[in-house]
Structure 1
């Protein structure tokens, strides 16, 4: 039985002490895992166990999430998260990698891709939206929260509660018994910390900036055509199934798999998704063999 040995580390990036999990041989193809809201790198713990013996797997926590420590005056925005991610990959010497983007990992990762396209060997997209048709009515209501809108901050505070966090894990699942409670309990622990409330409210008010960048990201996908695997939970309350199919307009050769689950598809369908990711990384490595990241 091959089980990954996972290391838990910090690296300094422009005053931010970034926590990350890493596993696997340093000379293997690199898989960069970008987490979503309201989680952190711990959401990938089982995927890292499954793949970390074969690939160089790296999963950071963004500022405002998980174990990463940011200064009290850190300016929370999606641009700022991308700035830190860009510094993170530089600090670790990650020059060429497959990037797995989920939820918030989409806007953070796509910003990195448009800044550093030569680093992106391929994409795994899981319930990370970049198209208007991938926004549910609930998502559109969330996007409407922005600075200056009456009640916007209170609307975001209501999202940072345990019932909402739990519903993001269990909503849309086929078998809720397959979803461990550890994820939402740990997520809520971090959300309830006073400094994290400020971070999440600021990011919530900035979410509209991601939708405004959809055309930019779509043009990048059209022009660069990165090899892409799409895995999607069709019952996602925020990013429904049409958002997955929309990618095929710009990435007609993408490999699309839709699962009968919700937002956190890995929680219920890891045994089905992990082999798809492994096969995809192997294919990318064979087709575009470049020096791997250290």
Structure 2
């Protein structure tokens, strides 16, 4: 009988300073399998990595948490939603799991979360997989610049942000820039919208949108960190991304000339359409680092 490896996945919660963090974790055959921390983007959660975990989880330990304000994670009502606090919680999760050396997959919001963790604990970082996770002003589209320039005191700013938090806005993030929309399953944006519509979630996203400028202010620091520590880096990028266009991918090569760069005819959520091409690149990268 043919044996087909099927990934076993466990679903857990861990308390981090009063935040009930949900995370999903593959259970590979080897106890010492390489670890990849999967840091999701907006407006999604760890469920965006389900197919990647299925593809690679039998060989590697893939850990995908939900941030506060996303997915199944539950935060206290007085939790302050900022990128610093998201990084605090994920740092606490890493400590709680006893991880000391791992690679990070940084997508969208996962880049500012991951870079904050890398700044605090460079000794933790074995390598980076960057997928449409921006750290350069080159990588901000005109639309992204306008959006991140919004301020709470600007008339209509909050309404503009909330316009992205509708089903139409969520779906557009999956389909914009995609050459074949039939490859994009509707499950992703449907589940994202379910979580966005929970009490308090839109308020959390508005707070994070107004805080996004704190990431742009740190770009120089993150670039300096890359030059100093030169982590092995795999860059996979959907060039149809309406927020973070192709120059943001190429900009990494200024600070990491040895990084491996792969561009795909994909949108923001590149794994939705190009998992068969991207998963083997990640497996090869993890085997090397």
Indicate whether the TM-score tops 0.5. yes
1:270 paired residue number: 275
Q: What are the Cα deviations for residues 124-179 of structure 1, in whole angstroms up to 9, with x where unaligned?
A: 00000000110001100110122322222111111111111101111111211111
Structure ranking higher on relative contact order (CA contacts 8 Å, 6+ apart): 1
1:291 paired residue number: none
Q: Choose the corresponding residue for 2:26, options 16, 23, 27.
A: 23
Q: Does 1:34 align with 2:39?
A: yes
Q: What are the Cα deviations for residues 203-230 of structure 1, in whole angstroms up to 9, with x where unaligned?
A: 0110111101100100000100000000
What pairs up with 1:142-161 in 2 under 5 angstroms? 142-161=147-166
Partner SS state of residue 59, structure 2:
coil
* RMSD over aligned Cα atoms: 0.7
Deviation at 1:195, TM superposition (A): 0.8
1:12 paired residue number: 15
Q: Does 1:180 align with 2:185?
A: yes
1:289 paired residue number: none
Q: Does 1:242 align with 2:250?
A: no
Q: Which stretch of structure 1 is more off in the superposition, 98-107 or 18-27?
A: 18-27
Q: Does 1:67 align with 2:72?
A: yes
Query: For structure 1, which runs of at least 5 residues remain unmatched after alignment?
Result: 285-294
Deviation at 1:262, TM superposition (A): 0.4
Q: Does 1:140 align with 2:145?
A: yes
1:288 paired residue number: none
Q: Does 1:118 align with 2:119?
A: no
The number of residues matched between the two structures is: 284
Alpha-carbon distance in structure 2 between the residues aligned to 1:33 and 1:130:
17
1:199 paired residue number: 204
Alpha-carbon distance in structure 2 between the residues aligned to 1:8 and 1:24:
11
Alpha-carbon distance in structure 2 between the residues aligned to 1:105 and 1:238:
14
Alpha-carbon distance in structure 1 between the residues aligned to 2:207 and 2:162:
11
What pairs up with 1:90-129 in 2 under 5 angstroms? 90-129=95-134
TM-score normalised by length of structure 2 = 0.97
Alpha-carbon distance in structure 2 between the residues aligned to 1:102 and 1:10:
22
Deviation at 1:87, TM superposition (A): 0.4
Q: What are the Cα deviations for residues 105-133 of structure 1, in whole angstroms up to 9, with x where unaligned?
A: 00011000000110000000000000011
Alpha-carbon distance in structure 2 between the residues aligned to 1:225 and 1:149:
40
Instruction: Work out whether residues 150 and 157 of structure 2, in 8 Å CA contact, stay in contact via their aligned partners in 1.
Output: yes
Alpha-carbon distance in structure 1 between the residues aligned to 2:6 and 2:209:
37
Q: Could you list the runs of 4 or more consecutive aligned residues of structure 1 that deviate by over 3 angstroms after TM superposition?
A: none
Query: For structure 2, which runs of at least 5 residues remain unmatched after alignment?
Result: none
Alpha-carbon distance in structure 1 between the residues aligned to 2:282 and 2:27:
15
TM-score normalised by length of structure 1 = 0.95
Alpha-carbon distance in structure 1 between the residues aligned to 2:117 and 2:25:
20
Partner SS state of residue 180, structure 1:
coil
